[in-house]
Amino acid sequence: MIGMQVDVRAIIHEGAELTDKALESLIPTPAVVPASIHGAMRHSVFAGGKRLRPVLAYQAAVAVAGSIPAGISHLGAALEMLHTYSLIHDDLPALDNDDLRRGKPTCHVAFGEAIAILAGDALQTQAYEVLAGLACPPAATVEIIRLIAQATGTVDGMIGGQVLDIEGEHQKPTPELVQAIHRAKTGALIRVAVVTGGIFAGATADQVARLDTFGRKAGLAFQIVDDILDITQDSAQLGKTAGKDLTADKATWPAVFGLEQSIQDAARLIEEAFAALEPFGDKADGLKAVARFLVERKN
C-alpha cells in the first residue's frame, strides 16, 4: 500500500522536526540556572544533527504499530542526547581534539573544557531522566533503559568501541578489531534505537528479535559506507589515491577488507537486514527506505 510511494526525505524531515521539538522542550534554556551548562548542552544538541537514530526508532515503531506512537519523540530525544554527549566528549583535547564539528566550534572551544565535560555528563544524565518519564508501561520503560545503558556501555557498547579505537591507534588494524569497533562504537546505538522504538510500540519477542537483526546489520552497513565515503572524500580533498589511503593504519573496513569487498559487504548486509523485516510487510517500508537512503547517500 505504501510500497514504492514512501517519501524518504519527508520521513526524515518529519522525524527530525519531531525530535527537535522534544529536545527544545526537554533541555532547559540558559534562563534556567546554571546558565552556562544549559547553553553548552543546547549548543551541541542543536548543531545541525540529522537525528538519524530517532528517525530509525520512529520507523521501527511504525513497522510494529502502523503509525508513529504518541510520546515516542521523548525516546528519540534521549537517543539524540546520548549521541551528542558522546560527540562532545570525543571532541575533547584529550580524545580527538577537534575544534570544529559540522562547521561550528565544538563544545569545549565555545564553552571551555570544564563546562564541555560537564555538558556531556549532563546530556547522559538527562537522557535517563527523560527515559524514566516515557509514556509506556513501566516494564517496557525498564527494558528500554537497560538495553540503552548496555548499548552505550563498555562491553560491546559505545564507550567500549571508543576505548578499542584509542587502544588500537598506531597498530595495524585486524579484521576482528575493525569489526569489534564498528559493532560497538556506532553500531550498538543504531541497533538499540531500532529495538527500543519497537519495544515502545509494543513489539512481540519475535518482532524485537527481528528488529535487532535488522539494526545490527544495517548499523554495520552504515558504518562501512561511512568508511568508504571517508576514502572518497580524502581522495578528492587530498589528491591521494584511494589505494594509498587503504595502506594507512586506520581501523576502517576498506583498510582491512579492501574497497571492492567493502562495497559488496555493505550491499549484502542491507539485503540481509531487509530480509529480517519480511513478516512486517508494508509497515516496514519506511524503515527500509531510511536504511536504503543511508547506505546510498553520497556524503
Contacts with its own copies by CB under 8 A lie at: 28, 32-34, 36-38, 41, 85, 89, 92, 94-95, 112-115, 117-118, 120-122, 124-126, 128-129, 131-133, 137-139, 141-143, 145-146, 149-150, 152-155, 157, 159-160, 162-164, 166-167, 180
Q: Of 52 and 158, which CB lies nearer to its own copies in the complex structure?
A: 158
Alpha-carbon span 138 to 136, nearest angstrom: 6
Q: Which is nearer to its own copies, 12 or 119 (CB)?
A: 119
Q: How far apart are the C-alpha atoms of 282 and 8, rounded to whole Å? A: 14
CB 151 to its own copies: min, Å: 9
Cβ at position 91, least distance to its own copies in Å: 11
Q: Which is nearer to its own copies, 59 or 84 (CB)?
A: 84
Angle between helices 73-91 and 113-132 (to 10 degrees): 160
The answer to whether the CB of 87 falls within 8 A of the CB of 43 is no
Please state the length of the chain: 299
DSSP 284: G
Q: Whose grid coordinates read 589515491?
A: 241
**In this complex, which beta carbon is closest to its own copies, that of residue 70 or of residue 155?**
155
Helix/strand/coil percentages in the chain, nearest 5: 75, 0, 25
Name the 3-class secondary structure at 141.
helix
Nearer to its own copies, 166 or 248 (CB): 166
Residues sharing a CB contact under 8 Å with residue 198, sequence separation 6 or more, in sequence order: 60, 61, 63, 64, 207, 208, 211
Contact 53, 193 (CB under 8 A): yes
Q: Least distance to its own copies from the beta carbon of 202, Å?
A: 15
Nearer to its own copies, 176 or 206 (CB): 176
Cβ closer to its own copies: 37 or 259?
Answer: 37
Shortest gap between Cβ of 85 and its own copies (angstroms)? 8
Shortest Å, Cβ 73 to its own copies: 18
| Residue 68: DSSP 8-state | P
Q: Where are the alpha helices (DSSP H) in 92-157?
A: 107-111, 113-132, 138-151
Smallest distance from its own copies to CB 23, Å: 15
Q: Which among 212, 180, 219 has a CA at the least distance from the CA of 83?
A: 219
CB of 59 to its own copies, least distance (A): 25
